[in-house]
Amino acid sequence: MKIHNHLILTFGTALMLFSCGQQNQNSNGALSSSAAEKVYVAPGEQDEFYAFLSGGYSGNLTVYGLPSGRMFKEIPVFSQFPTSGYGYSEETVPMLNTSHGFVPWDDLHHPDISQTNGELDGRWIFVNGNNTPRVARVDLSTFETAEIIEVPNSAGNHSSSFITENTEYVVAGTRFSVPVPQRDMPINEYKGNFKGALTFISVDPEHGHMAIKFQLLMPGFNYDLSHPGRGKSHGWFFFTTYNTEEANSLLEVNASQNDKDFIAAINWKKIEEYVNNGGGTKMPAHYAHNVYDEHSHTGTSTMRKEVLTVDPTKVPGAVYFLPTPKSPHGCDVDPTGQYIIGNGKLSADLTVHSFDKMIAAIEGKKFDGEAYGIPILKFEDVLAGQVKSGGLGPLHTEFDGEGNAYTTFFISSEVVKWQLGTWEVLDRKPTYYSVGHLMIPGGNSRKPFGKYVVAMNKITKDRYLPTGPEMEHSAQLYDISGDKMELIYDFPTHGEPHYAAGCPAELLTTNSKKIYRLDENRHPYAVTTADGSKVIRDGNEVHVYMSTIRSHFTPDNIEGIKVGDKVYFHITNHEQDFDVPHGFAILGQNSSELLVMPGQTKTSVWEPNEVGVWPFYCTDFCSALHQEMQGYVRVSPANSNVELKWSLGE
Ligand code: RUQ
Ligand code: CUA
């Protein structure tokens, strides 16, 4: 009997190993017991880092703690989000306005935290919408979307939304080149006619407000990713390109013809000077600029009509091409600003360019021809070194601030640690599976916090219990404080993360807003006093000025509403205590409920189409008497003469 059991077990184990594939062999059960201690955040204790992971096609930004991998919040940016009413409430609908109308969805990529002197300052985080090109700014004191600006002349806003070291600019580079201005033309006339816009959006140092400063109209390549220069290379921005072949069909073959594409080096300080002196051409455009005001708790959308474009050949010394092998994807700059890494996704080696050598080559005017009037530097002249990684399919690189770099390899599913300057590979660890981005808190700044790296994977397969054909993506957390990376944790992420940004928790906890002050509420329909509630009819529009406090609505009985009315419930939450929202929902309401934060006003529209007495209630379990937090609206026929009245406690 015993022998029999043993056999079954062995057979089972063999099967498991077999089905999990080779890569899993050295990971399953291989974690040392101290790994658990490293990620364990005891009940009541808090994480050391915040991590903001892009949600990709979810349109949201998710907030995690590290090392625990606990998800704390999902911040809606390019989405409608029933949890809070974002994108449904009257105040937030304008945030999703574009030149194409209301676009309540986007593919959110590449979070980047604001910086001062090249170090994270924790004020804002910028993210980009890839599909209908937009850049958003999320306020890190409220964790709310504060501003969204659309990017004209752009398509597939992918080399975005990276910032310069004093947050002077947030950058939006087009992935797809398109006709500029857009026009009706044959697709196969792409070559030489389409343009790639690289947009520099200035950020007001005080309020964070964004404005397009200029758009550089580059040759019609694909601009994939970008990173700012820093330290010695501050003033420059680097963009990877692919499809320098300018193919318009079957790109998987036709855009892989050239042995080398380029990294475009842009001296934005030079261009800034050029436009400040009147350079550039104003071009008619049509794009939305949406700003959320924290005091009126309301977003407004303004259509902008003009954009300043710059022809790169008109600004001598501002733009150069650095030949870089094999359709580079990630474009990363080390903390000193000296090395620019091109992650040639069809290659095994990494190409590292030297900023000093680039400057020397430019000064020596050593060019290797030009592309559309833009000088091409000689590969050998700018090359700092090559990392013979032994991996396949490099995508992205981050830095630990200790002279090491970490690169993800999609095809060979691993993170490879290597040394800057010697280009020597120091360590490699598998990921599960097909890793895309990785993130070290502060990894895109002069001062990374090189304690952990998070690998964000594209394929999950057998990591977790199956949940049907689709699974949440998987992330792995590695401790990188020692010589060797140590895999310490696995956690699922939401949507598809394309990059993330992290910072020490203390950078944010000190500035985090606990409530909105009621005495600062400037919402035009706010009720800020206990007896200020009212209901006003204006034709068939009815405005309900309603307030909430534990545990009732004022008013909680409303009569005189008629079929065909458009009823606006403007709810002001009178609580001034941290973490006490109230919700609002009414039967038949076909948008979403509202979740109203302390001191805030939000509005929901309800168009009753049936007579009756319809209840509304609070959707957030706010007190022991939360279930009592309810009310009724009486709806009469369209032609009735039931008088409009409202009450509480009658
Ligand atoms: S991408 S997996 Cu959209 Cu940032 Cu490289
Ligand atoms: Cu307010 Cu439940």
54-111 pLDDT per residue, tens: 999 999 999 999 999 999 999 999 999 999 999 999 999 999 999 999 999 999 999 9
Residues 504 and 543 occupy one common structural domain: no
Residues 566 and 467 occupy one common structural domain: no
How far, in Å, from the CA of 576 to the mean position of ligand 2? 14
Residues 496 and 595 occupy one common structural domain: no
Given 487, 510, 533, the domain boundary residue is 510
- Ligand 1 within 6 A of CB of 498: yes
* Domain coverage including residue 629: 520-647
Q: List pLDDT tens digits, range 470-507.
A: 999 999 999 999 999 999 999 999 999 999 999 999 99
Residue closest to 565 by CA, chosen among 585, 544, 551: 544
- Segment 562-576 shows an average pLDDT of 98
- Ligand 1 within 6 A of CB of 109: yes
- Ligand 1 within 6 A of CB of 473: no
Residues 489 and 527 occupy one common structural domain: no
Residues 577 and 641 occupy one common structural domain: yes
Q: Is the residue at 368 inside a domain?
A: yes
- Ligand 1 within 6 A of CB of 395: yes
- Distance in angstroms (rounded) separating the CA atoms of residues 546 and 552: 10
Residue pair 504/49 in contact (Cβ under 8 Å)? The answer is yes
Q: Is the residue at 377 inside a domain?
A: yes
Q: Is the residue at 24 inside a domain?
A: no
Q: Is the residue at 73 inside a domain?
A: yes
Q: Is the residue at 15 inside a domain?
A: no
Structure-model confidence comparison of residues 376 and 347, the more confident one: 376
Helix, strand, coil in percent for the chain, rounding step 5? 10, 45, 40
| pLDDT at residue 597, rounded to an integer | 98
Atom of ligand 2 nearest to the CA of 583: 1
First to last CA, the chain: 78
Q: Is the residue at 9 inside a domain?
A: no
How far, in Å, from the CA of 498 to the mean position of ligand 1? 5
With the most atoms of ligand 1 within 8 angstroms of its CB, the residue from 171, 459, 499 to mutate is: 499
Q: Is the residue at 482 inside a domain?
A: yes
Q: Is the residue at 18 inside a domain?
A: no
Residues 463 and 560 occupy one common structural domain: no
Residues 453 and 493 occupy one common structural domain: yes
How far, in Å, from the CA of 562 to the mean position of ligand 2? 27
- Distance in angstroms (rounded) separating the CA atoms of residues 40 and 552: 41
Residues 387 and 360 occupy one common structural domain: yes
Strand 210-219 vs strand 298-310: parallel, antiparallel, or unpaired?
parallel
* Nearest ligand, CA 225: 1
Question: Looking at the predicted structure, is the pLDDT value of residue 16 above 50?
Answer: no
Residues 347 and 391 occupy one common structural domain: yes
Given 442, 476, 510, the domain boundary residue is 510
* Nearest ligand, CA 410: 1
- Distance in angstroms (rounded) separating the CA atoms of residues 300 and 524: 13
How far, in Å, from the CA of 499 to the mean position of ligand 1? 7
* Nearest ligand, CA 111: 1
Residues 215 and 328 occupy one common structural domain: yes
Give 256's pLDDT tier (boundaries 50, 70, 90): confident
- Ligand 2 within 6 A of CB of 580: no
Atom of ligand 1 nearest to the CA of 130: 3
- Ligand 2 within 6 A of CB of 620: yes
Residues 272 and 176 occupy one common structural domain: yes
- Distance in angstroms (rounded) separating the CA atoms of residues 574 and 597: 9
Q: Could you tell me what percent of the chain has a pLDDT over 70?
A: 95
Give 19's pLDDT tier (boundaries 50, 70, 90): very low
- Residue minimizing CA distance to atom 4 of ligand 1: 498
- Residue minimizing CA distance to atom 1 of ligand 2: 582
Given 510, 538, 561, the domain boundary residue is 510
Q: List pLDDT tens digits, range 168-208.
A: 999 999 999 999 999 999 999 999 999 999 999 999 999 99
* Nearest ligand, CA 582: 2
Atom of ligand 1 nearest to the CA of 109: 3
Residues 93 and 151 occupy one common structural domain: yes
- Ligand 2 within 6 A of CB of 582: yes
Number of domains within the chain: 2
Residue 502's CATH number: 2.130.10.10
pTM: 0.94
Residue 641's CATH number: 2.60.40.420
Structure-model confidence comparison of residues 158 and 17, the more confident one: 158
* Nearest ligand, CA 629: 2
68 exposure class (CB count in 10 Å sphere: 0-12, 13-18, 19+): buried
| pLDDT at residue 348, rounded to an integer | 86
User: For the chain, what is the largest distance between any 2 Cα atoms, rounded to a whole number of angstroms?
Assistant: 90
